[in-house]
Amino acid sequence: MNQVKDQYEAYPYPERNPKDEAKRLISGSPSHPLEIDHFLFAGQRDWTKPLRALAAGGGTGDGLIQLAQMLTQTGKSYEITYVDLSRASRKVAEARAAARQLKNIRFVTGSLLDAADLGVFDYIDCCGVLHHLPEPVEGFRALRAALAPEGGLGFMVYAPYGRSGVYPLQEAFGALHDGLSPKERLKAARKIVAALPEGHPFKGNPNLGDHHDSDAGFYDLLLHSQDRAFDVPDLIDTMTEAGWELSGFTMPALYDLSRITEVPDHIDEVRAMAVAEKLRGTIKTHVGYAVPAGQGQQAASGKNRALVPHLKGVQPQALAQAVAQGKAPKLNFAGIDAQLRLPKAAAPLIAAIDGRRSLSDIAQMTKTDPIGMGATWARVEAELAGWGILLYSGILR
Three-class DSSP labels, the chain: CHHHHHHHHHCCCCCCCHHHHHCCCCCCCCCCHHHHHHHHCCCCCCCCCCEEEEEECCCCCHHHHHHHHHHHHCCCCEEEEEEECCHHHHHHHHHHHHHCCCCCEEEEECCHHHHHHHCCEEEEEEECCHHHCCCHHHHHHHHHHCEEEEEEEEEEEECCHHHCCHHHHHHHHHHHCCCCCHHHHHHHHHHHHHCCCCCCCCCCCCCCCHHHHCHHHHHHHHCCCCCCCCCHHHHHHHHHHCCEEEEEECCHHHHCHHHCCCCCCCCCHHHHHHHHHHHHCCCCEEEEEEEECCCCCCCCCCCCCCCCEEECCCCHHHHHHHHHCCCCCEEEECCEEEECCCCHHHHHHHHCCCCCCCHHHHHHHHCCCHHHHHHHHHHHHHHHHHCCCEEECCCCC
Residues 207 and 180 in one domain: yes
Looking at residue 68, its pLDDT comes to: 98
Residues 172 and 283 in one domain: no
Looking at residue 278, its pLDDT comes to: 98
Looking at residue 1, its pLDDT comes to: 58
Looking at residue 296, its pLDDT comes to: 80
Residues 176 and 54 in one domain: no
Residue at 351 is within a domain: yes
The answer to whether residues 228 and 365 touch, using CB atoms and an 8 Å cutoff, is no
Residues 190 and 204 in one domain: yes
Residues 15 and 90 in one domain: yes
Residues 214 and 265 in one domain: no
Residue at 303 is within a domain: no
Residue at 264 is within a domain: yes
Residue at 298 is within a domain: no
Please give the chain's pLDDT, 397 residues, in tens: 588 999 999 999 999 999 999 999 999 999 999 999 999 999 999 999 999 999 999 999 999 999 999 999 999 999 999 999 999 999 999 999 999 999 999 999 999 999 999 999 999 999 999 999 999 999 999 999 999 999 999 999 999 999 999 999 999 999 999 999 999 999 999 999 999 999 999 999 999 999 999 999 999 999 999 999 999 999 999 999 999 999 999 999 999 999 999 999 999 999 999 999 999 999 999 999 999 999 888 899 999 999 999 999 999 999 999 999 999 999 887 678 888 999 999 999 999 999 999 999 999 999 999 888 999 999 999 999 999 999 999 999 9
Residues 262 and 349 in one domain: no
State residue 333 phi and psi, 5-degree precision: -135, 130
Residues 218 and 359 in one domain: no
For residue 335, give its domain range.
Answer: 309-392
Residue at 302 is within a domain: no
Decide the pairing of beta strands 309-311 and 390-392: antiparallel
Domain boundary among 222, 242, 261: 222
Residues 153 and 181 in one domain: no
Residues 250 and 361 in one domain: no
What is the pTM (predicted TM-score) of this model? 0.96
In angstroms, the CA 296 to CA 247 distance is 9
In angstroms, the CA 367 to CA 70 distance is 33
Residues 133 and 270 in one domain: yes
The count of domains in the chain is: 3
